[in-house]
Chain A
Amino acid sequence: MTATLTRGAERLHAAFAGAKAENRAAFIPFMTGGFPSAAGFPAVADALLAHADILEVGIPYSDPLGDGPTIQRASEQALAGGTSTRRTLALIRDLRARHGTPIVVMTYVNPIYAVGPREFMRLAQEAGVDGLILPDLPPDQDLEIADLAAEHGLAVTFLIAPTSTPERVKLVAEACTGFLYAVSVTGVTGTREGSALSEVPAMLVLARQHARVPVAVGFGVKDAATARQVASVADGVVVGSAFIHAVRDGQDVGALAAEIAAGCGR
């Protein structure tokens, strides 16, 4: 791994450092690109960006096998509305014109391969994307993707899970240049009944032995209370499905974001 940080990695690390200086975990809301519609997405993203340290935008995908029903259905709706890979990157470019907050893209690998890895990275760079989160790409599967991302100034984030062995945690942690994403539960995305975060502390002890980047936790964080639990041990808190539910139910997304952001304080 190169010693010099990419532009994206620098911006992401600065966002985590900024939150830490305020004695908070970084707040990282997630929203599916083009949800609830291409026209409706910018307002939702603006509402999240008003409180976010980093915004995570998902490229809607037809076969999101790491996602639960909530994000899966959001993807289906976005695709039906005509948003997909290039369109999501264009939506981010528009956000970039109004916001300086770092933006990372969550995408399955197939859209990257279909557009062409080099072309995809070029478009992402042009849109002002800072990093990529790759839920179905264990870092040892395709070493070229991380190199291409770096060439285009993008940081990469890979995931660990409660099932990860110490060897896997080491391998994944060392491959991350943006932040490390620790999945809180054995399972897919989605909010859960009760608190399912019992495996997080042990996982983070392991992660911190190897990660040279901040460690964020996601999956199943749904409100200020669960955010606070996670914030006490992690550098960042990712919240996704709760915001999709909020958009669906016509709730005030900005107010929910403010509430959960406040929950990220320590």
Chain B
Amino acid sequence: MSMFLPAYPQPDARGRFGRFGGRYVPETLIPALDELEEAYLDAKRDPEFLNELERLLREFVGRPSPLYLAQRLTEHAGGAKIYLKREDLNHTGAHKINNCLAQALLAVRMGKRRVIAETGAGQHGVASATAAALLGLECIVYMGAEDIRRQALNVFRMKLLGAEVREVTSGTATLKDATNEAIRDWVTNVRDTFYILGSVVGPHPYPAMVRDFQAVIGEEVKVQLEAVEGRPAPDAVVACVGGGSNAIGIFAPYAYLPEEERPRLIGTEAAGEGVESGKHAASVAGGRIGVLHGSMMYLLNDDEGQIVAAHSVSAGLDYPGIGPEHCHYSETGVAEYVPVTDAQALEALQLLTRLEGIIPALESAHAIYHAVQLAPELGPDGIIVVNLSGRGDKDVAEVMRLLEQERDAGLLDRDPEQLIAEVLA
């Protein structure tokens, strides 16, 4: 199958998905965004670029990733068949690598030897550092101090790969501030630096470009599901949403189908300690329209426009906004966004681990939780595809800490060591 990059009807020429998106950035960056857009459109039509990307995705990343029928999880949930799209099996452990390799190739094509990236969970940072190592680029990754603590393993991986990790202590010291810092770097070094943005956020053309690079996920599902079930579309697609790139990647190939052919598209937002608690990262459920990192979107911000700190057990979802295309899907009913709490995600992580022998990333566990809830509703004839966006290796230390906390609070009937031992057995 030769590579192509899809052409979707959105955004419009000004980078808008309905009223969302746009380019709210310092004027310094506008020419760079124009240049990027042009380079991207040009690369998209160039067979040489597409062939190289296709080769790397196949040989280096390990694509196509399997579509796996989770039999024991399906039995447990008691309803629709649950398939997992195994992005966790990608090289570096998450969907992030699809986009990073593509953007790094674009950087090379544009003659930029210095790349910068922001990261929350560290997966995008690791993927950027990996692509940079592969292509011989200088790489600087901005990461919040809080996330550096939570994701020490990924910090080490980035350094091992030759990247420089810059700690960000301003604001909430998480992904949002790492993104601010990356943008400031870009404003300063825009002439020779390529910004590898990690999700479907930021100023146009990033949300569209990252979507196109991640749409390989959904395109593969269509082919794989056709082969095993005789139809390209399941009844529902579930994916977790931080900025929203893994979700857009699996939604987009279905999102522009006529309504009657379109599966239910469901994004799970990180509800942290509950949307009512105020400690969450659910931008659709608990935010309102605003501007952050260059685009208009649903955003956690107060009535004076100050960004409110997001909270999630998973660093990758700990972001106060959500990509503009998701906002448009939400407003027009193309997709639904449901909140899933920290506790529910932690429960789902253990469930998938014990039933299927797959430790999912805490991010992906949010999607697993909702799929299990949804299965009975759809019934045994139904099919759900869950995007398993990443593996949980990076999270096991944090999960152990959380389970110990639960045990100490008397909330857990089993010892965490026992659980870890079982998984490793």
A residues lining the B interface (CB < 8 Å): 61-69, 72-73, 76, 79, 84-86, 108-115, 135-138, 140-141, 158-165, 168, 172, 183, 186-188
Q: Please determine whether B28 and A137 come into contact, CB atoms closer than 8 angstroms.
A: no
Q: Please determine whether B31 and A109 come into contact, CB atoms closer than 8 angstroms.
A: no
Which residues from chain A contact B32 at a C-beta distance below 8 Å? 163
Interface string of B288-300 (1 = CB under 8 A from A): 0111111000010
Smallest CB gap from B182: residue in A: A65
Q: Please determine whether A63 and B304 come into contact, CB atoms closer than 8 angstroms.
A: no
Which residues from chain A contact B177 at a C-beta distance below 8 Å? 63
Partner of A65, one of B14, B26, B306: B26
Smallest CB gap from A160: residue in B: B27
CA distance A160 to B26 in the complex (A): 9
* Residue contacts A-B, CB under 8 angstroms, 30 given: A63-B180, A63-B292, A64-B180, A65-B180, A67-B184, A68-B184, A84-B306, A85-B305, A108-B291, A108-B305, A109-B24, A110-B299, A110-B305, A110-B307, A111-B305, A114-B305, A114-B306, A115-B305, A136-B25, A138-B25, A138-B27, A161-B26, A163-B28, A164-B28, A183-B26, A183-B27, A186-B28, A187-B28, A187-B187, A188-B184
Interface string of B253-282 (1 = CB under 8 A from A): 000000000000000000000000000000
Which residues from chain B contact A137 at a C-beta distance below 8 Å? 24
Q: Please determine whether A63 and B171 come into contact, CB atoms closer than 8 angstroms.
A: yes
CA distance A159 to B180 in the complex (A): 19
CA distance A166 to B409 in the complex (A): 64
Chain B residues with a Cβ closer than 8 Å to the other chain, count: 39
Which residues from chain A contact B38 at a C-beta distance below 8 Å? none
Q: Please determine whether A113 and B291 come into contact, CB atoms closer than 8 angstroms.
A: yes
Asked if B188 is an interface residue, CB under 8 A from chain A, the answer is: yes
Q: Please determine whether A65 and B183 come into contact, CB atoms closer than 8 angstroms.
A: yes
CA distance A158 to B29 in the complex (A): 14
- Chain A CB within 10 A, most for which of B170, B190, B292: B170
* In the complex with contacts A62-B307, A141-B22, A163-B191, A158-B183 CB distance below 8 A: no
Partner of B305, one of A112, A138, A141, A168: A112
Q: Please determine whether B31 and A164 come into contact, CB atoms closer than 8 angstroms.
A: yes
- Chain B CB within 10 A, most for which of A113, A141, A158: A141
CA distance A187 to B185 in the complex (A): 8
Which residues from chain A contact B124 at a C-beta distance below 8 Å? none
* In the complex with contacts A68-B184, A113-B289, A61-B24 CB distance below 8 A: no
Q: Please determine whether B292 and A158 come into contact, CB atoms closer than 8 angstroms.
A: no
- Chain A CB within 10 A, most for which of B22, B24, B189: B24
Which residues from chain A contact B28 at a C-beta distance below 8 Å? 161-164, 183, 186-187
CA distance A65 to B171 in the complex (A): 12
Asked if B303 is an interface residue, CB under 8 A from chain A, the answer is: yes
CA distance A110 to B290 in the complex (A): 6
Q: How far is the CB of B116 from chain A (nearest CB, A)?
A: 14
Partner of B302, one of A63, A72, A114, A187: A114
CA distance A62 to B302 in the complex (A): 11
Asked if B391 is an interface residue, CB under 8 A from chain A, the answer is: no
CA distance A84 to B26 in the complex (A): 21
Q: Please determine whether A168 and B290 come into contact, CB atoms closer than 8 angstroms.
A: no
Asked if B301 is an interface residue, CB under 8 A from chain A, the answer is: yes
* In the complex with contacts A109-B24, A164-B27, A63-B176 CB distance below 8 A: yes
Which residues from chain A contact B183 at a C-beta distance below 8 Å? 65
Partner of A159, one of B27, B291, B307: B27
* In the complex with contacts A65-B184, A163-B32, A188-B188, A110-B26 CB distance below 8 A: no
Which residues from chain A contact B291 at a C-beta distance below 8 Å? 108-110, 113, 136
Which residues from chain B contact A113 at a C-beta distance below 8 Å? 289-291, 305
* In the complex with contacts A160-B27, A161-B26, A188-B184, A114-B171 CB distance below 8 A: no
A64-B180, A111-B306 given; 9 more Cβ-contact pairs under 8 Å:
A63-B171, A65-B180, A84-B305, A137-B24, A138-B25, A159-B26, A159-B27, A163-B190, A168-B31
Q: Please determine whether B171 and A76 come into contact, CB atoms closer than 8 angstroms.
A: yes
Which residues from chain A contact B188 at a C-beta distance below 8 Å? 186-188
Partner of A111, one of B170, B176, B304: B304
Q: Please determine whether A136 and B289 come into contact, CB atoms closer than 8 angstroms.
A: no
Partner of A62, one of B22, B30, B171, B190: B171
Interface string of B3-29 (1 = CB under 8 A from A): 000000000001000000011111111
Q: How far is the CB of A79 from chain B (nearest CB, A)?
A: 7
Q: Please determine whether A168 and B191 come into contact, CB atoms closer than 8 angstroms.
A: no
* In the complex with contacts A85-B304, A186-B190, A72-B27 CB distance below 8 A: no
Q: How far is the CB of A74 from chain B (nearest CB, A)?
A: 12
A-B pairs with the 7 shortest C-beta distances? A114-B305, A111-B305, A161-B28, A187-B188, A85-B304, A84-B304, A110-B305
Q: How far is the CB of B324 from chain A (nearest CB, A)?
A: 13
Smallest CB gap from B183: residue in A: A65
Partner of B30, one of A109, A164, A186: A164
Which residues from chain B contact A73 at a C-beta distance below 8 Å? 170
CA distance A172 to B30 in the complex (A): 11
* In the complex with contacts A65-B293, A72-B170, A163-B31, A114-B304 CB distance below 8 A: yes
Which residues from chain A contact B306 at a C-beta distance below 8 Å? 61-62, 79, 84, 111, 114
- Chain A CB within 10 A, most for which of B28, B31, B177, B302: B28
Which residues from chain A contact B184 at a C-beta distance below 8 Å? 65-68, 188
CA distance A223 to B78 in the complex (A): 72
Q: How far is the CB of B103 from chain A (nearest CB, A)?
A: 20
Q: How far is the CB of B174 from chain A (nearest CB, A)?
A: 12
CA distance A76 to B173 in the complex (A): 13
Q: Please determine whether A66 and B187 come into contact, CB atoms closer than 8 angstroms.
A: yes
CA distance A66 to B185 in the complex (A): 10
Partner of B24, one of A141, A160, A183, A188: A141
Q: Please determine whether A114 and B27 come into contact, CB atoms closer than 8 angstroms.
A: no
Q: How far is the CB of A124 from chain B (nearest CB, A)?
A: 14
Which residues from chain A contact B299 at a C-beta distance below 8 Å? 110
CA distance A111 to B29 in the complex (A): 21
